[in-house]
Structure 1
């Protein structure tokens, strides 16, 4: 983690000092006063319900070396800080404070940074990269959902000083956010997994989503430069319809080389002969830029996971990971939970737990998996509403319902309000029988109606946005 004397904080972040021992060394950064340890930096954030500034005294008492506030400290707080030799700073924007501090720490570490963004597949790609690169390097990686303007700098600031590679997931819900993340992280390699419809309600169009994701290039050096022993590269999906747009409008002007991954002859890293086994895991032939080729198996369910594995393999090869190591790691992958994870229900049925989140593209991929896996009983799709689709919400839920009908599940359960009804109506319109399609308002209603009706031979897909809470359905039946 970061270790920095108080004296350097003002120069790096622009924060205003009020008091403190300039020679005291700060160790680590937290934004929750309950997480303060001896010598921590506590950064106060003001939320709708809780004002972090109010917890500065508790942070000082807990041993913080520095507290960073967004309002002028009281005389009483200054006295308390002086009594504990704790520095006090103020700043206008605590998010910018974190970003600048993390940027300074990253610059001193001289490690290789890989940034991962995109509408879907970020976490699978990140986890695969971390697994591959950990076979050779000391790797620090984004945990959980620490991928935003607060979480990503905290990830950097928690990295051990001897980290050799950082794999950082970068999320966003508006323009300018990934640019700020990229300037902070200064990635040498970047991946844009896919330009989908997640956040279309906030950004208005897929083109705007592509522009926002392409901001990841802002902090990258041109590929012509030798940056800490590497030449920068952007990894893209060769079959994504916005890949040419990103190349022509962003990668080329920035002078950054592109690596294409996909299933065509034109891709630099490609997968062929993809077959999904009875366990849902794909087997395929992988071919690299240099012509190297081998057959491998991915221990992650669904054909849609293959391209995410290709992104990771493309960068791993650039960083010297051998073919046999890639093959071994692919076969033993463990991905962050609730993403197409096949579990066993208490009654014996198989449950495809993809309840972490949902977008139209990932809904389609999950429905493909439901249709592909062998099943002696009924195929049941439990689909929750999807968020952040804005004015496109009704249309995209209708398209999802129509796609579900095309995959011919025996039962479709739509969970939620108006958008759940849009899904159900479209499924019926496209040929599903009325009695095969059900709409329930909540996860609890889905549990009451379906949990005890699942048979041992059934195959159940559970997928929806996080606010629907379908993870509770999975926990109830498994």
Structure 2
């Protein structure tokens, strides 16, 4: 984790000092006063419900070496800080404070940074890549989904000093955010998994989403430069319709070379002959630009996992991971949970737990897996509403319902309000019978009516945005 003397905090971040021992060394950064340990830096975030500035005293008494506030400290706080030899600073933007502090620490570490972003598949790609690189390097990786303007710099600041490679997931819900993250992280390699419809309600169009994701290039050096022993590369999906747009308008002007992954023989890494076993694990042939190829198997589920694995393999090869090791790792992966994880219900039914989050694209992938897996009982799709789709919400829920009708599950349960009704209505319109489509208003009602009705031969897909809370249904039926 970061270690920095108090005297350098002002220089690195521009924060205003009020008091403190300039020689005291700070170790680590937290934004929750309950997590303060000896010598921590506590950064206070003001909020509508909780104002972090109110917990400065608690942080000081817990042993913080510095507290960073957005409000001027009063005399009592200064007195308490002096008693504990704790420095007090103020700043106008705690997010920017974290980004600048993390940028300074990243520059001192001189490790290789890989950025992963995209509308779908970024967490899986990050996890696969971390598993691959850990065979040869000391790797520090984003935990869970700590991928925003607060979570990513905290990830950097928690990295051990001897880290050799950092794999950082970068998320956003508006323009300019990935640019700030990229300037902080200074990645040498980056992956844009897909340009989908997540956050289209905030950004207005898929083109604007593509522009926002392409901001990852702003912190990258041109490929012609030798940056800490490496030459920058941007990995893109050869099948994504916005890939040419990103190459022409962003990668080429930035001087960053592109690696393509997909199903075309012209891609730098391509995949062919994808088949799923009875548990949904894909087997496939992978071919590299030099013609080398091998047959591989993923311990993940679903066809969409294959391209995510290709993204990770493309970066791993650039970082010197032997291909035979890539193949071995693919067969023994562990990734962040609730992403098409197949579990057993207490009744014996199989549950595709994809309850972590949802977008129209990932809904389609989940429904495809439901259709592809063998099943001797009923195939049941339990789909909740998707968030952050804005004015496009009703239309995209209708398209999801129409796609569900094409998959033809034995039962479709739509969870939520108006958008769930739109999904259910479109499914009926496209051919599912009235008794095969049900709408329930909430996860609580879903649990009450359906937690115990499925039998040992049934197969369930459970998927929604997180606010719907369908993970609670999964835990209930799998208890």
Match of 2:105 in 1: 105
**Secondary structure of the corresponding residue to residue 218 of structure 1:** helix
In structure 1, stretches of 5+ residues that fail to align are: none
Over the residues paired in the alignment, what is the CA RMSD in angstroms? 0.5
In structure 2, stretches of 5+ residues that fail to align are: none
Distance in 2 of aligned mates of 1:406 and 1:290: 40
Distance in 2 of aligned mates of 1:43 and 1:200: 32
Match of 1:163 in 2: 163
Alignment partner of 1:75 is 2:75: yes
Distance in 1 of aligned mates of 2:335 and 2:52: 34
Match of 1:310 in 2: 310
Distance in 2 of aligned mates of 1:56 and 1:450: 47
Distance in 2 of aligned mates of 1:121 and 1:198: 12
Match of 2:440 in 1: 440
Deviations along 1:322-365, one digit per CA (max 9) or x if unpaired, are 11111110000111000000000100010000000000000000
**Secondary structure of the corresponding residue to residue 161 of structure 1:** coil
Match of 1:404 in 2: 404
Alignment partner of 1:322 is 2:302: no
Measure how far apart 1:222 and its partner are.
Answer: 0.2
How many matched pairs? 478
Match of 1:280 in 2: 280
Deviations along 1:90-111, one digit per CA (max 9) or x if unpaired, are 1010100000000000000000
Distance in 2 of aligned mates of 1:350 and 1:359: 23
Alignment partner of 1:136 is 2:140: no
Alignment partner of 1:94 is 2:94: yes
Q: Greater CA deviation, 442-451 or 22-31?
A: 442-451
Measure how far apart 1:290 and its partner are.
Answer: 2.0
Match of 1:116 in 2: 116
Q: How does 1:311-460 map to 2 (within 5 A)?
A: 311-460=311-460
Match of 1:199 in 2: 199
Match of 1:56 in 2: 56
Distance in 2 of aligned mates of 1:92 and 1:472: 39
Measure how far apart 1:455 and its partner are.
Answer: 1.1
Q: How does 1:219-238 map to 2 (within 5 A)?
A: 219-238=219-238
Distance in 1 of aligned mates of 2:290 and 2:73: 61
Distance in 2 of aligned mates of 1:446 and 1:83: 56
**Secondary structure of the corresponding residue to residue 278 of structure 1:** coil
Measure how far apart 1:51 and its partner are.
Answer: 0.8
Alignment partner of 1:294 is 2:306: no
Match of 1:35 in 2: 35
Measure how far apart 1:447 and its partner are.
Answer: 1.4
Distance in 1 of aligned mates of 2:292 and 2:100: 42
Deviations along 1:259-314, one digit per CA (max 9) or x if unpaired, are 00001112110111000111100000001122210000000000010000000000
Measure how far apart 1:72 and its partner are.
Answer: 0.8
Distance in 1 of aligned mates of 2:372 and 2:249: 38
Deviations along 1:216-254, one digit per CA (max 9) or x if unpaired, are 000000000000000000000000000000000000000
Distance in 1 of aligned mates of 2:42 and 2:89: 10
**Secondary structure of the corresponding residue to residue 252 of structure 1:** helix
**Secondary structure of the corresponding residue to residue 48 of structure 2:** coil
Match of 1:10 in 2: 10
TM-score (norm 1): 1.00
Match of 2:84 in 1: 84
Distance in 1 of aligned mates of 2:64 and 2:129: 35
**Secondary structure of the corresponding residue to residue 280 of structure 1:** coil
Distance in 2 of aligned mates of 1:82 and 1:423: 60
Distance in 1 of aligned mates of 2:452 and 2:141: 40
Distance in 2 of aligned mates of 1:289 and 1:185: 29
Measure how far apart 1:113 and its partner are.
Answer: 0.1
Distance in 1 of aligned mates of 2:108 and 2:168: 17
Alignment partner of 1:26 is 2:26: yes
